[in-house]
Chain A
Amino acid sequence: GNSVTQMEGPVTLSEEAFLTINCTYTATGYPSLFWYVQYPGEGLQLLLKATKADDKGSNKGFEATYRKETTSFHLEKGSVQVSDSAVYFCALTRLQAGTALIFGKGTTLSVSS
């Protein structure tokens, strides 16, 4: 079945540093790929998504490209801010169960000023 592996955290960065959070997947068929963000004490919010190979999702300065050849969907941001401190989840759609998602374990990002 489909599965997601993302880099373990925590990731600690200084403000304005470059961010990469690695995410790789195994899948049959043509899943969509997502990054969700969870700020402290809140639910999950969609950060960006890509629905087919070579698509690039982007939002709030974050980007990720759906790479079928390397089965990856790495999250990047050129200059992080303190307000980006959160837990980031990579996810992909299941083949069954409608639009339900399979999540990675999450990566905690902490940005200091």
Chain B
Amino acid sequence: NAGVTQTPKFQVLKTGQSMTLQCAQDMNHEYMSWYRQDPGMGLRLIHYSVGAGITDQGEVPNGYNVSRSTTEDFPLRLLSAAPSQTSVYFCASSNGLAVTDTQYFGPGTRLTVL
């Protein structure tokens, strides 16, 4: 049971490039989400999904796209990278949709946009 996995661990992009951050979980969790972590800001929600085929925006969705075609995978796409998107990105999943359920986090992807 690998839990939540993310690839790549590190990535450097040039302004304007696009890329996809991968996230997968093998726990059959319905709920998945993406956060970004910036110094002094805590973690902020980018997008989330309550099940395959269903996605919605969090508090900082601009510049990012998501889709959820399977329960296991929830990729995050950067359409045209900007230096403001330099951050550490965490994917998380939850074993339920109740507010009492725990989120499990992946190890993160550190992205630098030059």
Chain A interface residues toward B at CB < 8 A: 4, 30-32, 34, 36, 42-46, 49, 51, 89, 93-94, 97-101, 103-106
Contacts and interface: CB of A to CB of B under 8 A. Distances in A.
Given A32-B100, A44-B105, A99 B42 contact: no
B90 A93 contact: no
B52 to A, nearest CB: 14
Contacts of A31: 99
A93 B105 CA distance: 15
A33 B55 CA distance: 24
B56 interface: yes
Interface of B: 4, 31, 33, 35, 40-45, 48, 50, 56, 58, 90, 92, 94, 96-108
A42 B47 CA distance: 21
B42 A98 contact: no
- Could you tell me the dominant secondary structure of chain B's interface residues? strand
Given A97-B48, A98-B48, A100-B45, A46 B102 contact: yes
A97 B41 contact: no
A105 B100 contact: no
B94 to A, nearest CB: 4
A43 B100 contact: no
